Structure 1
Amino acid sequence: RWKPFIQNRVENIQQLVEPSQWRHCPTNSNPADILSRGSTIKRLRSDSLWWNGPSWLTDEDSWPKDIDTAKPEEYDVEYCVTEERRSIQVLVELVENIKLNPERYEHFDRLLRITAFCKRFGKNCRMPKPDRLVGCVTPLEIQDAENYWIREAQHESFSTEIYQLSNGRQIAANSRLQQFDPFLDENGILRIGGRLQNSDLPEHTKHPILLPDKHPTTTAIIRRCHLRQLHGGCEFTLATLRQRYWILKGRREVKRVIHACPSCKRIESRPFVAKMALLPSDRTRITRPFENTGLDIAGPFFTRQGKKVNKNYICLFTCMSTRAVHLEVVSEMTAPRLLQALRRFIARRGKPHILQSDNFKSFKQLDKDLSQLVSTEMIDNIARELTSHRIQWNFITERAPWMGGYWERLIRSMKTSLKKVLQNSMLEDEEFRTITSEVEARMNSRPLTYNPDNPNDLEVLTPYHFLTGTHYTDIAEVTKDEDE
C-alpha cells in the first residue's frame, strides 16, 4: 500500500480532476524521465522534448486513448500483485583494508613500499589521468603506509581501548594500558600520555607509539631496527626502539627477534655441549692429599740474574680429591728437570699413587725414564723409592683437553694472579720463587664451599684445611719500630 502522504495526495487529485481527463504518457515521450535518468548539458540544449514537450501534445487527436481510472486501493492491490519483489537489507561499512600479510616480507621497508603503491593505485583510480601520481613513492606516502600498519596492529590488539577513547571515555581500570594514560593522536594512532606536554622534546619522544607484543607488525619493526643498528644487541636495539615506540614486554620481544636472526645465530651460535659424564673414581674416593695427582706445566716466565735474562716454567701439581695445589719452578722443559721437580714434590707432599697429565712430549719422556729406572745403576734414594712403589702415570686422551679441565682451571687462576702482581716487571730468580710460593698459598686458601651468611656457622672449607688442619694465616709485617 501507499504511504499516507502519497495516498492523501492521490485522493485530492482525483477529487479535483475528473479521471476521464487523464491520459497515459509513454516513457519515450515523458520529459520528466530526462531528469531522473540524467543527461549532459550539451544534449539538453538541443533536446526538443525537454524544451517543447512531446510532438503529439498539440494535436488532441493524437493523444493516447487508454485511460486508467482505477481507484487508489485497487491500484495498490494490482501494483502489489504485479510488482511483488523480495527485499534484502544490506549493511555497508567503509573499511580500509589491504590484503597483505606482514609475515611474508623479510624487510619491513619493502612492505611499506608495496603498501604505499597500493594506496596510490586506489587514489589514482578516482582521479583524472593528468592528475595521477607516478614515479617513486614519497616519504609522506611511506609514513602514511607505516601509520596504516600501526593502526591495524593496534586495532587488532587494543580494539576495546580504542573504542572507549574514541567515544571520549576512560579506559577500564583492569586494562593493561591503564598505566600508560594512552590517547589517540590526529592520525588515530594510540600513543603514551604523560606529563611532558610542555617539554621541548620531540613529539615521538614525549609520546611514543604503543605497540602490542606477539604481533607480526611489531616483529617486523623490531627486525628493521635490529638490521639498521648493524645487528646490535638486545639493550642497544631496545634503546633505539624506545626513541619512537613503546613495545609491551619489549625486552622479551627484542630477545625473541634477535634469537631468530639468521646472521646473529650463525655468528654467535655455540657448538653442542654434550652431557657431562660421571666423575672418575680417582676424584671421588676418600684419600689423603695428593694421593691422586694431576700435573701440568705453564710458561715461560722471564726472570733476571744480574744482567742475564732467564726463562722459567712452573709445574703445577693438584690433588684430584682435595683440589690442593703445589707449584714447582723449573728452568727447562726437559725430562731431567721435570724429574727433579717431581722429586721435590714427593719430598714435600708424599708419593702419589696415580699421576695424570696431558700428552706433552716431556711428560711422555719422563714416564719412559721412570719405567727404565729398574735396569739402571742409579742408587739414588728417590729412584729406589719410585722403583719399589711404582707410581702409575696416566695420560688423558689425545686432543681431548677437557679431560684435564680440573688442572687447566687452576693454571688460569695461577697465571691471573702472577699477571696482576708482576704486571710488566721482571724479578730475580729468588724473588720469582717467593712470589710463586705465595701464589700457591693463596690458591690453597680459596673457598671450596659457599661462604655462610650466618656468623654462627663454621668457617668456609679450603684446601689448607686438608693440608694443615687449619686455615691459612698471613705473616704479619714487622715495622722498623716493632723490630727495635
Structure 2
Amino acid sequence: MKIQETVLWSDSTIVLAWIKKPLNQLQQYVRNRIALIQEQTSEHRWKHVRSQQNPADIISRGQLPEYLQNNPLWWSGPEFLNREKYEVDVPETIPDEELPELKSMVTVSNDDGLLAHFHKQSSFRKIQRVVGYILRFAKNCKKKRAERELGTHLTVSELRQSTETIAYVVQQFHFADEIKRVVTNQPCRKLGNLRPVYVNKLLRVGGRLDRSQLPFENRHPIILPDKDPVVRLLVQQMHIELLHVGQTGLLNAMRQRYWLLNARSTIRFITRRCVRCFRTSPTTTSQLMGNLP
C-alpha cells in the first residue's frame, strides 16, 4: 500500500502553536525540541485532536486492565478516522501574549518585527540610514524614472523622516494602548500628565506652549520610552555628537525634539558607561590615614 500522506495528531494547542512559530521566537529549552520536531516531521501535517478522542491520554493517565481490554479507543483509535471524510477540529488561535516560552520581544505585528531588527544594531545612525534608504526605495517605486531620487547620500528631509519612522515603530510597540486612548479621546493611564496629542502618527507632548513662537518640534516633542534599546542608542549618539556633553546639557539638547520618560536616569545610565568620559574624568583615590601615635 502506497502512503500518500502522513498526518500527526496532538491534543496540545500550545505545542501546535509552537510548531508553527519560527525558532528564533522561542526560548532555548522549547526551541531545541521544536527544532527536532520540525526537522523530523517537515513532510507531514499536524492536526488537533480533542483529549477525549486521543488514545495517548488513556495510557498517560492510567487505566485498569479490565477497562483497557474493552476500550475501542485504545485498540482502534478515534472513531472519525474510520470514515473517509471527516471534519478536523480547528483549535482557537492562542495570542502571543498568552503563549508560554516565547521571547518577550517578539510579537505578531510588522512594526514590532521591524523593531526586533532595530534591537540587533549597535548604532542609531546605521538604523537611521537603513530606514532612510528603505523609505527612498518605496517612494521611487511610485515615481517615474526621471523623478526618482538617485543621490548617493540621504538628504536632511529624508533623515528626518527616517527618524520619525523609527519613533513611530518604537511608540507602536510601547504605547499602543496610550495611542488608542488619545485617538478615542479617553484618559491616558501612563502619560496623562503630559497631555499627549497624536499628530502625523506620532505621540507628542501637548503642554501649554502651543501658542508660542517656538518651532513645532520644540512645542510638541516626541514622547519616547526610557528602556528601549533603540532609544538608548539615540541618547548615546547625541552624547557623542555633542562632544560628550554632561548630563544636564544632554538633557536640554534632547528636550528640543524628544520627551524621554525618566530622562535623567536614562541619561545617567548612558553617560556613566561612556569609556571616553571615564578616561577624561577618572575617579580620584584617597589614601587611608595612618594610625594616630
TM-score, scaled relative to structure 2: 0.56
Report what 1:184 is aligned to.
198
Q: CA deviation at 1:151?
A: 1.1
Q: Distance in 2 between matches of 1:227 and 1:206?
A: 25
Report what 1:211 is aligned to.
224
Q: Distance in 1 between matches of 2:109 and 2:177?
A: 20
Report what 2:257 is aligned to.
244
Q: CA deviation at 1:253?
A: 0.9
Q: CA deviation at 1:150?
A: 0.7
Conservation of the 8 A alpha-carbon contact between 1:213 and 1:253: yes
Superposition pairs of residues 9-20 of structure 1, within 5 angstroms: none
More relative contact order in 1 or in 2 (CA 8 Å, sep 6+)? Answer: 2
Q: CA deviation at 1:156?
A: 1.8
Report what 2:136 is aligned to.
120
Superposition pairs of residues 57-72 of structure 1, within 5 angstroms: none
Q: Distance in 2 between matches of 1:105 and 1:281?
A: 54
CA deviation map 1:1-53 (0-9, x unaligned):
xxxxxxxxxxxxxxxxxxxxxxxxxxxxxxxxxxxxxxxxxxxxxxxxxxxxx
Report what 2:271 is aligned to.
258
Structure 2 residue identity aligned to 1:158: F
Report what 1:50 is aligned to.
none
Structure 2 residue identity aligned to 1:156: F
1:194 partnered with 2:207: yes
Structure 1 residue identity aligned to 2:193: Q
Which secondary structure state, in structure 2, belongs to the residue aligned with residue 197 of structure 1? Answer: coil
The unaligned stretches of length 5 or more in structure 1 are 1-85, 283-484
1:147 partnered with 2:164: yes
CA deviation map 1:429-473 (0-9, x unaligned):
xxxxxxxxxxxxxxxxxxxxxxxxxxxxxxxxxxxxxxxxxxxxx
1:104 partnered with 2:128: no
Report what 2:85 is aligned to.
none
The aligned length equals 192
Report what 2:11 is aligned to.
none
Report what 2:29 is aligned to.
none
Conservation of the 8 A alpha-carbon contact between 1:102 and 1:220: no
**Same amino acid, percent of matched pairs:** 27
Q: Distance in 1 between matches of 2:192 and 2:209?
A: 18
Structure 2 residue identity aligned to 1:105: S
Which secondary structure state, in structure 2, belongs to the residue aligned with residue 100 of structure 1? Answer: helix
Report what 1:268 is aligned to.
281
Q: Distance in 2 between matches of 1:251 and 1:117?
A: 33
Superposition pairs of residues 424-443 of structure 1, within 5 angstroms: none
Structure 2 residue identity aligned to 1:182: P
2:246 to 218, 222, 233: 233
CA deviation map 1:302-326 (0-9, x unaligned):
xxxxxxxxxxxxxxxxxxxxxxxxx
> Structure 1 pair 197/273, CA: closer, same or farther in 2 (3 Å)?
same
Report what 2:174 is aligned to.
157
Q: CA deviation at 1:103?
A: 5.2
Q: Distance in 2 between matches of 1:159 and 1:190?
A: 10
Q: Distance in 1 between matches of 2:203 and 2:141?
A: 31
Which secondary structure state, in structure 2, belongs to the residue aligned with residue 210 of structure 1? Answer: strand
Q: CA deviation at 1:228?
A: 2.3
CA deviation map 1:57-93 (0-9, x unaligned):
xxxxxxxxxxxxxxxxxxxxxxxxxxxxx9x9xxxx9
Which secondary structure state, in structure 2, belongs to the residue aligned with residue 105 of structure 1? Answer: coil
Q: Distance in 1 between matches of 2:215 and 2:144?
A: 39
Q: Distance in 1 between matches of 2:253 and 2:144?
A: 43
Q: Distance in 2 between matches of 1:165 and 1:129?
A: 41
CA deviation map 1:265-320 (0-9, x unaligned):
2222236668x48x5252xxxxxxxxxxxxxxxxxxxxxxxxxxxxxxxxxxxxxx
Q: CA deviation at 1:239?
A: 1.1
Q: CA deviation at 1:213?
A: 0.7
Q: Distance in 2 between matches of 1:140 and 1:154?
A: 21
Q: Distance in 2 between matches of 1:125 and 1:239?
A: 40
Q: CA deviation at 1:162?
A: 0.7
Which secondary structure state, in structure 1, belongs to the residue aligned with residue 117 of structure 2? Answer: coil
The unaligned stretches of length 5 or more in structure 2 are 1-87, 91-107
Conservation of the 8 A alpha-carbon contact between 1:124 and 1:132: yes
Conservation of the 8 A alpha-carbon contact between 2:118 and 2:230: no
Structure 1 residue identity aligned to 2:291: P
Q: CA deviation at 1:180?
A: 0.6
Report what 1:280 is aligned to.
291
Q: CA deviation at 1:185?
A: 0.6
Q: CA deviation at 1:258?
A: 0.8
CA deviation map 1:95-120 (0-9, x unaligned):
456463245233x2232112111222
TM-score, scaled relative to structure 1: 0.35
Conservation of the 8 A alpha-carbon contact between 1:213 and 1:249: yes
Which secondary structure state, in structure 2, belongs to the residue aligned with residue 184 of structure 1? Answer: strand
Q: CA deviation at 1:196?
A: 2.4
Which secondary structure state, in structure 2, belongs to the residue aligned with residue 190 of structure 1? Answer: strand
Structure showing greater radius of gyration is: 1
